[in-house]
Amino acid sequence: MRLIGTIENDKHASLFSDYLFVRGIENSVELEGRQYEVWVLADDQTEEATSLLKEFTANPSDPKYAGVEKAARKKEAQIEEEAAAAADRSFSSRELIHRNQTTPIFVTMLLIAISICVAFLSNLGDDSEVLQPWHITQFIKDGNYFQPHGMPEVAHGQVWRLVTPIFIHFGFLHLFFNMYWLVFLGGMIERAKGHFYLLLLVLVSAVLSNTAQYMLPLPGLSDGSPNFGGMSGVVYALFGYCWMKSKYDFASGIVLHPNTVVMMIIWYALCFTGIMHIANMVHTVGLIVGVIWGFTSARRSLTR
């Protein structure tokens, strides 16, 4: 803050202070003895303010100073309105964060409970007899060769088989990591968008990814075997949705750290290396569903 000069008349000091303020120069006027000292807050505006002070003291009655007081009060009111609006936005953000932290995640917890129960009953996927009702279709296993016979059960009304493979997990790590991401991603969506919204996203992504995994045998993506399972297709749909909402809809309350995005993409790519037997078609279709859904939702929110 720099002292640029003094003004003897109190009305003139107030008028010049308003003049500087209207011109965007933050200043302060202080009574010192019988004079008013004029201080400028920003050092880089000192030279301009000094020049303006010389012009003012030479002719404080110049018509260009008429209406300065009114303009200054108007500018002050505008600043106060903007500050109030910013405070409201800040409060709304805090309220959204608080709501997102406290809203129950019933659907997420139900999906986890079913997955854990199926894992327990099937001895983490080792009991094939227990798992037969959960597969997309029943099959006969002859050594390493599977003999699927279409989806007659679904054709006869057992449509839930299009979804139930998501609850099958082979091993503890398979179950643990899928449940971890389900809590993280599914919980975030459920808190932000509601129970029904998450359930609909899970069902649509499950049906499409499971059906594609079984019905579209493609090299590197699917061998056409019905012996697959896991929540990872849904997880990648949830990831794709959160990725798009975080990137294009900042007000949604859904936020993904860039490191999380990179990690999920790297893992998706590693699954194609053949190190583990992975249902890559499930991952791929789930990711596509989530990205399209999230991007469409973000664009619709921005349009509104």
Q: Which of 102, 128, 149 is the last residue of a domain?
A: 102
Q: At what angle do helices 280-303 and 232-248 cross, to 10 degrees?
A: 30
Query: In a 10 Å sphere around its CB, with 0-12 CB exposed, 13-18 middle and 19+ buried, how is residue 139 labelled?
Result: middle
Q: What is the pTM of this model?
A: 0.67
Q: In this structure, are 44 and 60 located in the same domain? A: yes
Residues 225 and 157 in one domain: yes
Confidence at 34, pLDDT banded by 50, 70, 90: confident
Dihedral sign for Cα 155, 161, 165, 168, please: negative
Two tokens, residue 143 = 């050594």
CA-CA distances (angstroms) from residue 96 to 85, 92, 250, 253, 288? 16, 6, 12, 7, 28
Q: For a pLDDT cut of 70, what percent of the chain falls above it? A: 91
What CATH number is associated with residue 295? 1.20.1540.10
Q: For residue 286, count CB atoms less than 10 angstroms from its CB and return exposed for 0-12, middle for 13-18, buried for 19 or more.
A: buried
Same domain, 145 and 275: yes
Instruction: Tell me the per-residue pLDDT of 198-238, one tens digit each, with 9 for 90 and over.
Output: 999 999 999 999 999 999 988 888 888 899 999 999 999 99
Residue 57 shares a structural domain with residue 127: no
What distance lies between CA 232 and its chain's CA centroid? 20
One-character DSSP codes across 178-235: HHHHIIIIIHHHHHHH-HHHHHHHHHHHHHHHHHHHHH--BTTTB---S----SHHHH
Report pLDDT digits (tens) over 243-264. 999 999 888 889 899 999 999 9
**Paired sense of beta strands 139-142 and 145-148, if any:** antiparallel
Show contacts of 97-102: CB within 8 Å, 24+ apart.
97/253, 99/191, 99/253, 100/188, 100/191, 100/192, 100/253, 101/191
Could you tell me if 75 and 178 lie in one domain?
no
**Which range has highest mean pLDDT (62-71, 149-158, 179-188, 245-254)?**
179-188
Interval 7-22 mean pLDDT: 93
CB 241 within 8 A of CB 295: no
Task: Write out the H or E segment, with its range, that includes residue 12.
Answer: helix 10-22
- The verdict on 70 and 30 lying in the same domain is yes
Q: Do 134 and 25 belong to one domain?
A: no
Question: Which pair of structure tokens corresponds to residue 279?
Answer: 């249902």
Residue that is last in its domain, among 102, 137, 153: 102
pLDDT at 37 over 60: yes
Is the Cβ–Cβ distance between 164 and 121 less than 8 Å?
Answer: no
Burial class (CB in 10 A: 0-12, 13-18, 19+), 98: exposed
- What's the average model confidence in pLDDT over 148-174? 92
CATH of the domain at 53: 3.30.70.2350
Task: Give SS3 for 253.
Answer: coil
pLDDT of residue 100: 56
Q: Domain containing 86: what range? A: 1-102
Looking at the structure of the chain, the number of domains it has is 2
Is residue 123 located within the same domain as residue 220? yes
117 and 4 fall within a common domain: no
Query: Do 266 and 152 share a structural domain?
Result: yes
Domain boundary among 46, 67, 102: 102
* Res 92 pLDDT > 60: no
- 179 and 82, same domain (yes or no): no
Residues 81 and 129 occupy one common structural domain: no
Tokens of 243: 């990725």
